[in-house]
Amino acid sequence: MIIYKTGNILDTDSQCIVNTVNCEGYMGKGLAYQFKKAYPANEKAYIKACKTGEIAIGKVFLFEEDNKIIANFPTKDKWRLPSKMEYIKLGLLDLINKIIVRQIYSIAIPPLGSGNGGLNWEDVRKEIESSFYDLSEEIEVVVYEPAGNIQTNLKPKKAPKLSLSHYVVSKIESLLKYYNVKDKTYIRLQKSCYFFNHFYRKDYFDFKAYKYGPYSHDIEIVNKKINEYMLYYDIKDYNVLCDEVYKTIISKKIESELDNIDNAIKLSSEYVNNIKSNSELECLTTIMVLIKDYSYTTEEDIIKGFKDWEFSKEKSRKFKEKDILNSINYLLNTNIISKGLLGYCLVSN
């Protein structure tokens, strides 16, 4: 689970806490200075690690003090120079490996390189999400966003205008299990809306092949407006929200189609709720994209499609042939796809 919050990262209850550092042994400003005061033994060990080469770009140094595992994460080489995204990517790779080896179950991460380092927080956030995607179901990842970056809790000056799309998304959110609204990757919401298209028999939301399978930017925009609407009217329950959206958007034209829409919402949310793993959802919907958009009709084609997936090199490493074949069988058994003389196709009735 990935959770976002603001506040003092030093107050975290997480087992492991990330400290952003340079490779020269200086903890003179920013978060590192706060760590220096809170964990003096860690500072001494960090200085020594800089001299011995135990810490370097792409090489995270772990140290334990006061029942905390401190991950000293180099976001800079020289303390006077800015951070680079390359440093963040390399460091995250090493951090993930160390988490697995040490069997760390919870970790708190600051906005890596986004303060004095000068990196764009949105770019860094996406890199953190991507790196922890495979582990996010096994460990708790608490990401501390820059305080100045958080605007989502501010009440909008006026209520956003809502449409039928907002009704569909809010209704799906109200029905989903295992859905973490603080998870900004919105994997389950995205996949549920993709299945909504399938059960509605229309491409209501515009999906394109992307890193985790089908992705629709429209859903992010719609969900942002939903959150603003909830803030404006101080709505905290999705069922209440759905009632309000219904009252706002209902018309004779919409009402005549609402039974079909509600049925597709029900079927899509039930289908996704039966799948606890985000990775399994990714595999299933990637297969559907390969069949629908790439016209891959055989098992060999689909397996090759995973290997050649241009949006993520991780796809072929993440999903083995057995995983793909199991997912094909699941889609067959749940009547999402069928197999005929010409191979696999999506069920359309």
Could you tell me the CA-to-CA distances from 258 to 162, 168, 225, 246 in Å, in that order?
Answer: 16, 10, 21, 10
Question: Which residue reads 């956003």 in tokens?
Answer: 160
Structure tokens at 70: 């401190």
Residue 60: partners with Cβ closer than 8 Å, 6 or more residues away? 71, 72, 73, 74, 91, 94, 95, 98
CA dist 233 and 244 (Å) reads: 10
Structure tokens at 91: 């460091």
Residue 284: partners with Cβ closer than 8 Å, 6 or more residues away? 191, 275, 327, 330, 331, 336
Buried b (16+ CB within 10 A) or exposed e, 36-46: bebbeebbebb
Smallest Cα–Cα separation from 324: which of 294, 298, 295, 292? 298
CA dist 238 and 81 (Å) reads: 46
DSSP 11: G
Question: Of these residues, 76, 171, 191, 292, which one is catalytic?
Answer: 76
Structure tokens at 211: 């890193």
Q: Are 164 and 105 in contact (CB under 8 A)?
A: no
Smallest Cα–Cα separation from 160: which of 252, 244, 255? 244
β-partners of residue 26 are none
Whether 191 is catalytic: no
Residue 212: partners with Cβ closer than 8 Å, 6 or more residues away? 133, 185, 187, 190, 282, 286, 312
Region label for 343, one of left (φ > 0), alpha (ψ between -120 and 50) or beta (otherwise): left
Residues serving a catalytic function are 76
